[in-house]
Structure 1
Amino acid sequence: MKKKIQFSLVYRDMWQSSGKYQPRKDQLACIAPVIIEMGCFSRVETNGGAFEQVNLLAGENPNDAVRAFCKPFNEVGIKTHMLDRGLNALRMYPVPSDVRRLMYKVKHAQGVDITRIFCGLNDVRNIVPSIKWAKEGGMIPQATLCITNSPVHTVEYYTAIADKFVEAGAPEICLKDMAGIGQPAFLGKLTKAIKERHPEVIIEYHGHSGPGLSMASILEVCNNGADIIDTAIEPLSWGKVHPDIISVQSMLKNEGFDVPEINMNAYMKARSLTQGFIDEWLGYFINPANKHMSSLLLGCGLPGGMMGSMMADLGGIQRSINSILKGKGEAELSIDDMLVKLFDEVAYVWPRVGFPPLVTPFSQYVKNISLMNLLTLAQGKGRFVMMDDSMWGMILGKSGRIPGTIDPVLVALAEKQGRKFVDADPQSYYPDALDSFKEEMKKNNWDFGQDDEELFELAMHPEQYRDYKSGAAKKRFLSDLQKAKDAKLGTSLTPQQLTEFKHAKADAIVAHVKGQIYWEFNGDGECAASVEPYIGQEYKEGDNFCYIQAPWGEFVSVKADLGGKLVEINAKQGSKVQKGQVIAYIERNHE
């Protein structure tokens, strides 16, 4: 029998590559014991890049979610891991070094064992400090190679970086094939080269299914010394996500590897629970296209996880370009025409900006440059006209060294605009900032949290955390969820049918007298005009819904009747209503 292969379940990435949001704390705590019961996973990805931001956007506390999800795995010895974007840590833009250092202490205290540290440019300067800080915080640092195909990304290129990771103290290396375009034979050679130089280092392979190479790649890396394989489970496996554990286990078992058995009863439970999370609310934010594989991804190299947002962006550019074409009397372009044009433009732009591996945030930058080029070309203005500071920051070296050579046209354009190329340590542009966040916490009388986790959350995601604390995030999320539900329902119903369907499930809140609408009273006993209800707001039976100031001056209370969820508001703050007029509709919880 061949060597033992372990499996990791990338539960966070399954959702991240499918849609916008993550399961709630209660859902994660519910499925964790079932994942354990499956018996085939030695590791589970519990949090990391974007996980905390999307929790905050949903009005949820990500620290509570991480602790609740990690705890069951910690108790049985299954290692937990997170995704760490190096210089960007858990967000899309650079993070001060003192905040990065705090992250590892917080995450270790919350129960996260391993941090997978990557830099989209494979710049060692963005990863080596994190290896040191992770060890200081009690975590295992897994240094990452972002895999792509270009003339500069050779086996020698990657093994030289791996040498530096090991020298810096990384006991593990991840081959992060984020777009799934890594050629199987190449990945096998790279795995063998690293293992021959560093036989004691653990190698974990992470490959998305998008263009269809992942199963062949898994077989190649395992036959050349890989130790751990990232996998997914239905109903989110395959598509733009990861191969399913059942297929991977079967293939490797047939190849003669020592692999764990799968408790299929538990698998079906986990599958059912995950589908339940989709049906309840997460499915409203999943792009159906992310369930499909596409060979087109091989040509452009874009990661599957960003396809949903890319298609939305492409639709907007399509409308603008078609408006220009229509004005010229030329044939308009279909979305398929636009997709081919975009992929061709990415293939044009990518080498000219120096072959940055197309992973967050550089995949977004290259895609955005290409989209803007399509528009400005249609306008007759040429290429590279509409580029923001983030795109230029990548090109100029502010995020790290570009692996290839910047095109002379862009070099000349930068000089013309007074922009300078740099090669300093990227972290040097982002000074320590933790003290200012401590002052903000104190000023607002906010609890620093267990192990300073709330301080960390503010420092890592300041805008989202402030909205979370104020309640604005929850209101916005519930409104977005209702809109998403209505939009999905509305695909098969006319507006009138949609309204009738919604009203059939809800109670009408009716004005008992005519007058002016007010929502609630303030602390002085006066009617407050500033607080309005939001779609999705919950009411208990008999709760007050609003007040009507009658013509004779009296404030009449309007009750929420049987209670439930607010699904429609028909009267604005301060508006006049007539007796018998419907103010709103509340959907009963028991239905």
Structure 2
Amino acid sequence: MKREIKFSLLYRDMWQSSGKYVPRVDQLEKVAPAIIDMGCFDRVETNGGGFEQINLLFGENPNIANRRWTQPFNDAGIQTHMLERALNAIRMSPVPADVRKLMFKVKKLQGTDIARSFCGLNDPRNLENSIKFAKEGGMISQAALSLTISEVHTVEYYTNLAEQLIEMGTDEICVKDMAGIGRPAFIGKIIKNIKTSHPETVVQYHGHSGPGFSMASILEAARAGVDYVDVAMEPLSWGTGHADVLAVHGMLKDAGFAVKDINMKAYMKVRSMTQEFIDDFLGYYINPKNRHMNSLLIGSGLPGGMMGSLMADLGNNLESLNKWLTKRNKPTLTQDDLLIKLFEEVEYIWPKLGYPPLVTPFSQYVKNLALMNVLQVIKGRERWSMIADNIWDMIIGKSGKLPGELAPEIVELAKANGKEFYTGVPQDLYPDGLEVFKKEMKENNWDFGQDDEELLELAMHPEQYRAYKSGKAKADFEADLAEKKTAKAPKTEKVEVPAASFEPKSMIIDVNGEKFNVGVSYGDIESAPAASNGSAKTVEKEAPAAVNGSAAFEVISPLEGKFMLTKDTSETPIKVGDTVKEGDVVCYIESMKTYNAVVAEQDGKVVGISKANGDNVEEDDVLVQLA
């Protein structure tokens, strides 16, 4: 009798691996029946990871989206599963234990059956609560092995990790090849070891197609005894995403495995609707290069799931960097130039950081640090001169135990920055915090929501939830989308008008992104430049504003991102009138999902805060004024 292998559709992860956003709830509801009609899926990934933050960012309630999206699959008997990040739950930073516990209860009540839990460091201490809380909440616990390739990440390492997680009580194991760099034979040996020791334990394989190993890896996983395989489908399969269900189906069927038939009429319907969603608005956030496979990813090991945001980050940083280079009459770079430099720097720094598996959030941390190093070196500054607080937490052990040893230079750098290494249980550093958020909900007269789901949303994503409630998130998203649509709209032809009919005027000239207000004369008439209206930069810089007869000292942004007065609720934001000391943190720049502390370079009194919380800023923007 042929052994059956079942499929799980990664409809959420398909989008996250390709771009920034996922479909709206009305779009998800529209496509769900057709996915069910395909008849080949026993599981569908419906939520988790960054999914809910994305809902909030475009002004949609993630709890409503989760319930309405999971319901059709619940009704059809198709299991739903979510992705969660252990200590970090479904965000990028550590989460209090009581908030983590509430999450599993809420997600089960919203219709999610399986919690796929992974720790980016593969620290079993971080996964222990995930396993416990998932089962207490009525969910199936699926603990993941975050796969990577290094001198410390061996078949024996992963086999032993699986043994520990099964002993802790997990129901299933996921072999999570988040970068797709796991060699096929390596993956097969791990799965075979697990199934030999625990034949009744369900094993699911998740792999990305970017580097090119995925089809061979899936076949090896199948031969080793895997039960479920994660797949995607056109037009969002392959590239930085996952193998297409049609190809996987054909390969496994030919290899002698039992696989469910695919209703091709329904497949084409899902394919067509997915393209419709891309054309609607999601395509504006998908970099075309993410549709390509790239074996350069083998060396860097960066995961497919972050490539959508990585290309956006590169574009933003490249624009800022090229402005800096142009001002100094230096050659500019292309995106490919910067990408290759980034890949090379990731390979260089990864071993020095103790080989953290390159999965969320640590893939972002390593990538961000590599990118900061590249940018600083290009600007003639020192490597390691800009390290975000989240990255320091990883380095000193607050996120868990690193798999490898830190390089001596990193240990010395930590000591030089006054950092103390931590060896305790990471969760102990983040005490219960729900009461603080309950108080905020009551003060704002906000509804706690069905099963306390709105309370969970605030506690899990405080800044994004507040922006959602105020309407700022939706307004910002709509403005950004309008800007992207305008940028891609066909250019209209310019109409030339004889200059002789005009009197002298001023005009704004854009030179490589820098705007200048200049005077213009026609014929022999000369004119002085008109006064700037404040909306464009002038050629001469203005002197610092005078405060009480003395010049104010300006605290400027070291990079582009979002201006944040605090990074969590434990901090008190500065305000005008406060006194700060040299070295004090005055604010943060949230860039590429990490918080970069901005410190005062001298003692002073806060006399001005130039940006509002959450505002976008560019490098060298004035943030705070001290006197």
Q: TM-score, normalised by structure 2?
A: 0.76
- Alignment partner, residue 518 of structure 2: none
Q: 1:493 aligns with which of 491, 494, 507?
A: 491
- Alignment partner, residue 231 of structure 2: 231
Q: How does 1:421-440 map to 2 (within 5 A)?
A: 421-440=421-440
CA distance in structure 2 between the partners assigned to 1:376 and 1:282 by the alignment:
33
CA distance in structure 1 between the partners assigned to 2:320 and 2:271 by the alignment:
42
- Alignment partner, residue 38 of structure 1: 38
Structure 2 stretches lacking a partner, 5+ long: 496-627
- Alignment partner, residue 342 of structure 2: 342
Q: Does 1:76 align with 2:72?
A: no
Structure 1 stretches lacking a partner, 5+ long: 498-591
Q: Describe the SS at the equivalent of 2:145.
A: strand
Deviation at 1:384, TM superposition (A): 1.1
Give the conservation status (yes or no) of the 8 Å contact 1:145–1:173.
Answer: yes
Deviation at 1:328, TM superposition (A): 8.3
Q: Describe the SS at the equivalent of 1:173.
A: strand
Deviation at 1:322, TM superposition (A): 6.0
Identity of aligned residues (%): 62
Deviation at 1:495, TM superposition (A): 8.1
Give the conservation status (yes or no) of the 8 Å contact 1:56–1:473.
Answer: yes
CA distance in structure 1 between the partners assigned to 2:221 and 2:143 by the alignment:
17
- Alignment partner, residue 355 of structure 1: 355
Q: How does 1:457-536 map to 2 (within 5 A)?
A: 457-489=457-489, 492-494=490-492
CA distance in structure 2 between the partners assigned to 1:268 and 1:112 by the alignment:
27
Give the conservation status (yes or no) of the 8 Å contact 1:320–1:375.
Answer: no
- Alignment partner, residue 183 of structure 1: 183
CA distance in structure 2 between the partners assigned to 1:270 and 1:309 by the alignment:
25
Deviation at 1:9, TM superposition (A): 0.3
Deviations 1:477-518 (A, max 9, x none): 2111111211222xx425869xxxxxxxxxxxxxxxxxxxxx
Closer, same or farther: CA 453–347 of 1 in aligned 2, 3 Å:
same
CA distance in structure 2 between the partners assigned to 1:34 and 1:484 by the alignment:
30
Q: How does 1:260-409 map to 2 (within 5 A)?
A: 260-315=260-315, 317-318=317-318, 332-409=332-409
CA distance in structure 1 between the partners assigned to 2:105 and 2:493 by the alignment:
52
Give the partner amino acid of 2:268: M
Deviation at 1:386, TM superposition (A): 1.2
CA distance in structure 2 between the partners assigned to 1:196 and 1:405 by the alignment:
32
CA distance in structure 2 between the partners assigned to 1:62 and 1:300 by the alignment:
33
Deviation at 1:203, TM superposition (A): 0.6
CA distance in structure 1 between the partners assigned to 2:313 and 2:457 by the alignment:
29
Deviations 1:409-439 (A, max 9, x none): 0111111221111111111111111111111
Q: Does 1:127 align with 2:127?
A: yes
Q: Does 1:442 align with 2:437?
A: no
CA distance in structure 1 between the partners assigned to 2:321 and 2:479 by the alignment:
32
Deviation at 1:395, TM superposition (A): 0.8
Mean CA deviation greater in 260-269 or 323-332: 323-332
Give the conservation status (yes or no) of the 8 Å contact 2:73–2:79.
Answer: yes
Give the conservation status (yes or no) of the 8 Å contact 1:158–1:190.
Answer: yes
CA distance in structure 2 between the partners assigned to 1:102 and 1:362 by the alignment:
24
CA distance in structure 2 between the partners assigned to 1:309 and 1:31 by the alignment:
25
Deviation at 1:375, TM superposition (A): 2.5
- Alignment partner, residue 205 of structure 1: 205
Give the partner amino acid of 2:45: E
Give the conservation status (yes or no) of the 8 Å contact 2:287–2:311.
Answer: no
Q: Describe the SS at the equivalent of 1:125.
A: helix
Mean CA deviation greater in 104-113 or 367-376: 367-376
- Alignment partner, residue 558 of structure 1: none
Deviations 1:371-392 (A, max 9, x none): 1212332344332111121111
Closer, same or farther: CA 418–84 of 1 in aligned 2, 3 Å:
same
CA distance in structure 1 between the partners assigned to 2:435 and 2:494 by the alignment:
55
- Alignment partner, residue 56 of structure 1: 56
CA distance in structure 1 between the partners assigned to 2:465 and 2:493 by the alignment:
36
Deviation at 1:175, TM superposition (A): 0.8
Mean CA deviation greater in 413-422 or 93-102: 413-422
Closer, same or farther: CA 32–333 of 1 in aligned 2, 3 Å:
closer
Q: Describe the SS at the equivalent of 1:419.
A: coil
Deviations 1:42-61 (A, max 9, x none): 00011011111111111111
CA distance in structure 2 between the partners assigned to 1:381 and 1:433 by the alignment:
40
CA distance in structure 1 between the partners assigned to 2:229 and 2:223 by the alignment:
12
Give the conservation status (yes or no) of the 8 Å contact 1:9–1:41.
Answer: yes
- Alignment partner, residue 152 of structure 1: 152
Mean CA deviation greater in 470-479 or 256-265: 470-479
CA distance in structure 2 between the partners assigned to 1:64 and 1:317 by the alignment:
35
Give the conservation status (yes or no) of the 8 Å contact 1:324–1:378.
Answer: no
Give the conservation status (yes or no) of the 8 Å contact 2:18–2:307.
Answer: no
CA distance in structure 2 between the partners assigned to 1:322 and 1:85 by the alignment:
36
CA distance in structure 2 between the partners assigned to 1:439 and 1:326 by the alignment:
50
- Alignment partner, residue 567 of structure 1: none
Q: Describe the SS at the equivalent of 2:80.
A: strand
- Alignment partner, residue 571 of structure 2: none
Give the partner amino acid of 1:465: Y
- Alignment partner, residue 572 of structure 1: none
Q: Describe the SS at the equivalent of 2:41.
A: coil
CA distance in structure 1 between the partners assigned to 2:493 and 2:135 by the alignment:
57
- Alignment partner, residue 598 of structure 2: none
Alpha-carbon RMSD: 1.8
Give the conservation status (yes or no) of the 8 Å contact 1:96–1:431.
Answer: yes
Q: Describe the SS at the equivalent of 1:42.
A: strand
Mean CA deviation greater in 382-391 or 174-183: 382-391
Mean CA deviation greater in 384-393 or 40-49: 384-393
CA distance in structure 2 between the partners assigned to 1:102 and 1:445 by the alignment:
21
Mean CA deviation greater in 312-321 or 22-31: 312-321
Give the conservation status (yes or no) of the 8 Å contact 1:300–1:347.
Answer: yes
Give the conservation status (yes or no) of the 8 Å contact 2:17–2:308.
Answer: no
Give the conservation status (yes or no) of the 8 Å contact 1:131–1:170.
Answer: yes
Q: Describe the SS at the equivalent of 1:452.
A: helix
Closer, same or farther: CA 315–20 of 1 in aligned 2, 3 Å:
closer
Give the conservation status (yes or no) of the 8 Å contact 2:20–2:309.
Answer: no
Give the conservation status (yes or no) of the 8 Å contact 1:290–1:305.
Answer: no
Deviation at 1:168, TM superposition (A): 0.9
Q: Describe the SS at the equivalent of 2:7.
A: strand
More helix by share: 1
CA distance in structure 2 between the partners assigned to 1:32 and 1:314 by the alignment:
34
- Alignment partner, residue 244 of structure 2: 244
Deviation at 1:193, TM superposition (A): 0.9
Give the conservation status (yes or no) of the 8 Å contact 1:394–1:400.
Answer: yes
Closer, same or farther: CA 45–324 of 1 in aligned 2, 3 Å:
closer
Deviation at 1:184, TM superposition (A): 0.5
Give the conservation status (yes or no) of the 8 Å contact 1:98–1:434.
Answer: yes
Deviation at 1:334, TM superposition (A): 3.7
Closer, same or farther: CA 317–254 of 1 in aligned 2, 3 Å:
same
Give the conservation status (yes or no) of the 8 Å contact 1:191–1:221.
Answer: yes
- Alignment partner, residue 579 of structure 1: none
Closer, same or farther: CA 459–318 of 1 in aligned 2, 3 Å:
closer
CA distance in structure 2 between the partners assigned to 1:325 and 1:66 by the alignment:
45
Q: Matched residue pairs, number?
A: 495
CA distance in structure 2 between the partners assigned to 1:114 and 1:14 by the alignment:
19
Closer, same or farther: CA 485–378 of 1 in aligned 2, 3 Å:
closer
